[in-house]
Amino acid sequence: MTIDWIAFTPWTALAGGLLIGLAAAMFILLNGRIAGISGIVGGLLTAKQGDNLWRVLFIVGMLLAPILWLGFSQLPPIQIDADYPLLIISGLIVGISTRYGAGCTSGHGVCGISRLSPRSMVATLAFMGTGFLTVYVIRHVLML
């Protein structure tokens, strides 16, 4: 392992993390809910009625974040290396498996660990593990 010191951005990473934590804190303190994105989005696709407006508003807030940002300065880089077929495959896998596993990076990784949930700790170890493994296989075994 070699650390890429040039790419390493500790201060913005930490500052962004604090903002994400603030959002998660606000959501449990004010709305009494877990700020888990896969659950918020996936809940829109269940048949339950009368439970959709807050989900839509949360998602609209997320979608508007870069637009608000653009009002003040240039957007930070968003570099998407994957091609379209790979994006479709990974999107399908992320969609179905975050619903099976009842959470993603936000719901398990941030909120779940913050409330000391053993399920979320196991989930986070699991997806971090296969995340590392997948990139290892793609870059260092298949050499793609």
The answer to whether 109 and 125 have CB atoms below 8 angstroms apart is: no
Per CB under 8 A, 72 contacts other proteins: no
CB closer to other proteins, 49 vs 63 = 63
The residue within the footprint of other proteins, chosen from 50, 80, 142, 143 (CB under 8 A), is 80
Quick one: DSSP state of residue 44?
A: G
Q: What is the distance between the terminal CA atoms of the chain, rounded to a whole angstrom?
A: 19
Each residue 29-68 as x (binds other proteins by CB under 8 A) or -, in order, gives: xxxxxxx-xx--xx--xx------xxx-xxxxxxxxxxxx
Q: Is position 75 an interface residue for other proteins (rule: CB under 8 A)?
A: yes
In angstroms, the CA 63 to CA 51 distance is 20
> Per residue, what are the HEC states of 62-112?
HHHHHHHHHCCCCCCCCCCCCCHHHHHHHHHHHHHHHHHCCCCHHHHHHHH
As a whole number of angstroms, the distance between CA 139 and CA 113 comes to 30
**Closer CB to other proteins, 30 or 49, in the complex:** 30
Out of 48, 71, 74, 79, point to the residue binding other proteins (CB under 8 A): 79
Residue among 20 and 49 whose Cβ is closer to other proteins: 20
Binding to other proteins in span 86-125, by CB under 8 A: 86-106, 108-119, 122-124
Q: How far is the CB of 49 from other proteins (least distance, A)?
A: 15
How many residues of this chain bind other proteins (CB under 8 A)? 113
